[in-house]
Structure 1
């Protein structure tokens, strides 16, 4: 079976990539190129590539649907998102155009379309990396996704104009989509918590959103994103996203395989890809300075810029419509940018720590939209991360009479906690400027309930470096992570599942003791 070949190659190459410290998706790309080179010897043919293309497309739709589930319109209607996205598109297109015309013998129209294709950043890679680090709702994650959506909308307009196709007149009905939100909410409520909920997600992402938008002459990707965004305010949006996680991840493996399996490059295609890879840092630097222009702090501008330093799969989609002869060179260029961008994103936080002294002086001396608190007042206990664990710790200590304050980088979590009567402020525990400037004169204990392990390690190190001598405790899923957090300076690190089991056993013990006393009485 050809599916067995895909799975075997993807697993082996993904495992090899992980072994050398690269994300598995780099291995999936390598597996695709390997299949392209040896496909004829192992029974992989063009018809199989078509099947893989369908699988890859489903993965992209599901990814965009889950991104939409975490999206709010307010994240798009921001100066740094709209201004940064539009200015970067215009400036980068003008930067790439002369370089392309110098290297290649093209008409200016073809050169312009190629420059536009290279100006976009990868929605799939950026969303996957941010989701993997649980930073989709952090400030820099929301800005990055907002810019990507602006770029995707530009790509859709360019493809429509360049191909001569126009949306169906029925597309005007889409302005009435918000009227369907109550119905969608009821469907999600009625679907329960098991397979019906998964099927509802697939129906909305692939059928109603994906196929439905295609029938109206619009992008299926836009449809999946739109229907995800319509459910973003539902209380079970996160549960729906989690239920689709496994299916989406498997299909996305097909996306990365498909890029590589499209064909092996010739010498000219490789030279083109290398030349564009050399220009890739300019793309990231342009993002950084534009975000600084729009008043972001250096850290947010840097992390957002890094996540957008790559070339886009939308460039391939656009090329398939208007530049089919450039599909393979662009595929190699996109793949090479992934190879560069994926490990760069993995070390983005430590890299910023090294560059912070040079980048922070570039900040404008004004109030920034991602400003963080400067004082915790008279609070005695600080809880970093207000997810389920953080909320439980906060509520327990507050009931015991302690003055507690929470910090989180997710505006949705902050809004929900504030409505519940908790004092929660916006802050990012991995930001070294937070710990340098934060006044916490009465804090006796810090609880690290952050999702990301690296965030807990960095926060622990920064707290100890600033001289905090109080109690510092954390939780972790795995023993090796627990050891690293303690080595960074934590007093105690509790294994989440072990503590949950011990707590459950304690409740059982108390109930058994009470029953025993009742019988003896």
Structure 2
């Protein structure tokens, strides 16, 4: 039974590469190649079936649908995102196309399509790396994700053009789709939080978006993206995206398996992948200097460009439509880039801490508005991280202290707090340039309510390094993290669940005291 082999090999190889710190999809590609090799040396018939092709296609549609759910105009309408992505795409194609044409004796069209496929960066890898470090909403994370969305849109346009589909007269219905948005919003609200929510996502991505667009002669991939984008501004769009995450990932396994089962790489494919690996650093350098040109600080430009220094699964999707003969060489190139990129991104902050002074020399004199120095003026209490815990702390202290300021690395969240009357500004605690530009002459107490342990450790160390002698308090879920935070410079670090229990008990005691009196 081929399905049993697919699942067994995919799980085994995926788990193996995960244990050494690489993305599991590298293992899925390896599983496909291993299955292909196994079929060639045994009597087993192991080949891509119609079922696997359908699974792979569903995975691609769900990926594009979830990309559409993140497609908010404000995330991509900025000079550094639009300019950086388009300039990088143009320069990469202008350099790679003649290089591939001359070195590999290809036609101009094939060389151009290969250059386009290699110009994209991995949405899956970058999003996972940034999410694992809780940096999706940090300034450098927003820039990287914005550029990836722009690249996804370019990829979709190339796929639609390469597919050569001729739309029918019914395709004009697409222009009326925005009228359906209120109805789709009601459907999303009515779907609850369980399996109906997942089924709604599948209905929109596969049936209305995929099959519907295909029926009128348009790209099914475009349909999935469009229906995702129509829900992007709904408050529950990210909940829908998260509910589909596991389903999408499971079906995408089929996409990577299908590539590997398609055939073992030959010598030419390995040479192509090796050359692509050698020029990979140039891709990151180009992003770095382009982002510096748009006034980003060296740290933000470095972290964004490092997240983008890889080749993309979207390149494979483009190749599956336009360059099927090049799928295997591109798959090896993508895998190799993940092997390089994943560990580098894991130690990105440590790398910048070591080489930051050298990289800062390339900064311009003017900086991006989101990266300007912050003066706390007469602020006496500072809260870093304005999530649920930070907000609760702010509101409690505000009853007794007026000179209070909150900081958060999500500008949208900071703006929402400002509308509610809180004194909250945008700041990224893990940005060394933030600390170098921070003025806090009157602060006597700091609450570290940041979401991740690394941010709390960095903040505690930097506060003490700046000479701050006041009180620093933090919360965390685990005792070993509390110990690390105290060693980093905090006076106290409390366990979140313990403090929750104490707070609940205090309500009982207060109520009992009130009844006695």
What TM-score, normalized by structure 1, do the two folds share? 0.89
What is the rounded CA distance, in whole Å, between the counterparts of 1:425 and 1:308 in structure 2?
28
2:130 matches 1:130:
yes
Root mean square deviation of aligned Cα: 2.9
SS in 2 for 1:233: coil
Greater shift, 457-466 or 226-235, is seen at 226-235
- The alpha-carbon deviation at position 380 of structure 1 amounts to 1.9
Question: Is contact 2:85–2:151 with CA below 8 Å preserved after alignment?
Answer: yes
- The alpha-carbon deviation at position 428 of structure 1 amounts to 1.0
Question: Is contact 1:118–1:315 with CA below 8 Å preserved after alignment?
Answer: yes
- Partner residue of 2:332? 332
What is the rounded CA distance, in whole Å, between the counterparts of 2:262 and 2:495 in structure 1?
45
2:447 matches 1:447:
yes
The 1:340/1:169 distance shift into structure 2, 3 A limit, reads farther
- Partner residue of 2:231? 231
Question: Is contact 1:381–1:402 with CA below 8 Å preserved after alignment?
Answer: no
What is the rounded CA distance, in whole Å, between the counterparts of 2:437 and 2:43 in structure 1?
60
- Partner residue of 2:140? 140
2:274 matches 1:274:
yes
2:194 matches 1:182:
no
The 1:174/1:386 distance shift into structure 2, 3 A limit, reads farther
Q: How does 1:76-91 map to 2 (within 5 A)?
A: 76-91=76-91
- The alpha-carbon deviation at position 24 of structure 1 amounts to 4.2
- Partner residue of 1:45? 46
- The alpha-carbon deviation at position 148 of structure 1 amounts to 2.1
SS in 2 for 1:382: strand
The 1:70/1:329 distance shift into structure 2, 3 A limit, reads closer
2:204 matches 1:204:
yes
Question: Is contact 1:372–1:426 with CA below 8 Å preserved after alignment?
Answer: no
SS in 2 for 1:446: strand
What is the rounded CA distance, in whole Å, between the counterparts of 1:253 and 1:463 in structure 2?
45
Question: Is contact 2:48–2:262 with CA below 8 Å preserved after alignment?
Answer: no
The 1:7/1:230 distance shift into structure 2, 3 A limit, reads same
What is the rounded CA distance, in whole Å, between the counterparts of 2:148 and 2:130 in structure 1?
13
What is the rounded CA distance, in whole Å, between the counterparts of 1:31 and 1:484 in structure 2?
40
What is the rounded CA distance, in whole Å, between the counterparts of 2:25 and 2:490 in structure 1?
33
The 1:125/1:109 distance shift into structure 2, 3 A limit, reads same
Greater shift, 182-191 or 213-222, is seen at 213-222
SS in 2 for 1:364: coil
- The alpha-carbon deviation at position 430 of structure 1 amounts to 0.8
- Partner residue of 1:117? 117
- The alpha-carbon deviation at position 255 of structure 1 amounts to 4.7
- The alpha-carbon deviation at position 306 of structure 1 amounts to 1.3
Greater shift, 65-74 or 346-355, is seen at 65-74
- The alpha-carbon deviation at position 318 of structure 1 amounts to 2.2
Q: Provide, for residues 186-212 of structure 1, a one-character-per-residue CA deviation record: whole Å limited to 9, x for no partner.
A: 222222233323322332333333333
What is the rounded CA distance, in whole Å, between the counterparts of 1:250 and 1:482 in structure 2?
36
Greater shift, 261-270 or 210-219, is seen at 210-219
Q: How does 1:87-106 map to 2 (within 5 A)?
A: 87-106=87-106
Greater shift, 301-310 or 372-381, is seen at 372-381
- The alpha-carbon deviation at position 427 of structure 1 amounts to 1.2
Question: Is contact 2:71–2:149 with CA below 8 Å preserved after alignment?
Answer: no
- The alpha-carbon deviation at position 256 of structure 1 amounts to 4.7
What is the rounded CA distance, in whole Å, between the counterparts of 1:391 and 1:107 in structure 2?
59
- Partner residue of 1:418? 418
Q: How does 1:201-350 map to 2 (within 5 A)?
A: 201-350=201-350
- The alpha-carbon deviation at position 375 of structure 1 amounts to 0.6
What is the rounded CA distance, in whole Å, between the counterparts of 1:258 and 1:457 in structure 2?
44
What is the rounded CA distance, in whole Å, between the counterparts of 1:477 and 1:260 in structure 2?
42
Greater shift, 352-361 or 100-109, is seen at 100-109
The 1:320/1:70 distance shift into structure 2, 3 A limit, reads closer
Q: How does 1:428-467 map to 2 (within 5 A)?
A: 428-467=428-467
SS in 2 for 1:235: coil
Greater shift, 262-271 or 425-434, is seen at 262-271
Which structure 1 residue ranges, 5 or more long, are not aligned? none
SS in 2 for 1:306: helix
SS in 2 for 1:193: coil
What is the rounded CA distance, in whole Å, between the counterparts of 2:494 and 2:281 in structure 1?
41
Question: Is contact 1:373–1:426 with CA below 8 Å preserved after alignment?
Answer: no
SS in 1 for 2:149: helix
What TM-score, normalized by structure 2, do the two folds share? 0.89
Q: Provide, for residues 270-299 of structure 1, a one-character-per-residue CA deviation record: whole Å limited to 9, x for no partner.
A: 111011100011111111111112222222
The 1:245/1:507 distance shift into structure 2, 3 A limit, reads farther
What is the rounded CA distance, in whole Å, between the counterparts of 2:245 and 2:94 in structure 1?
38
- The aligned length equals 516
What is the rounded CA distance, in whole Å, between the counterparts of 1:60 and 1:118 in structure 2?
18
Question: Is contact 2:295–2:364 with CA below 8 Å preserved after alignment?
Answer: yes
Q: Provide, for residues 449-483 of structure 1, a one-character-per-residue CA deviation record: whole Å limited to 9, x for no partner.
A: 22233222222222222222222222333344334
- The alpha-carbon deviation at position 25 of structure 1 amounts to 4.4
What is the rounded CA distance, in whole Å, between the counterparts of 2:213 and 2:137 in structure 1?
27
The 1:502/1:377 distance shift into structure 2, 3 A limit, reads same
What is the rounded CA distance, in whole Å, between the counterparts of 1:296 and 1:7 in structure 2?
44
Greater shift, 65-74 or 386-395, is seen at 65-74
- The alpha-carbon deviation at position 381 of structure 1 amounts to 1.9
Question: Is contact 2:259–2:327 with CA below 8 Å preserved after alignment?
Answer: no
The 1:346/1:401 distance shift into structure 2, 3 A limit, reads same
- The alpha-carbon deviation at position 399 of structure 1 amounts to 2.4
SS in 2 for 1:406: strand
- The alpha-carbon deviation at position 438 of structure 1 amounts to 0.5
What is the rounded CA distance, in whole Å, between the counterparts of 2:454 and 2:59 in structure 1?
28
Which structure 2 residue ranges, 5 or more long, are not aligned? none
- Partner residue of 1:482? 482
What is the rounded CA distance, in whole Å, between the counterparts of 2:174 and 2:25 in structure 1?
35
Greater shift, 27-36 or 360-369, is seen at 27-36
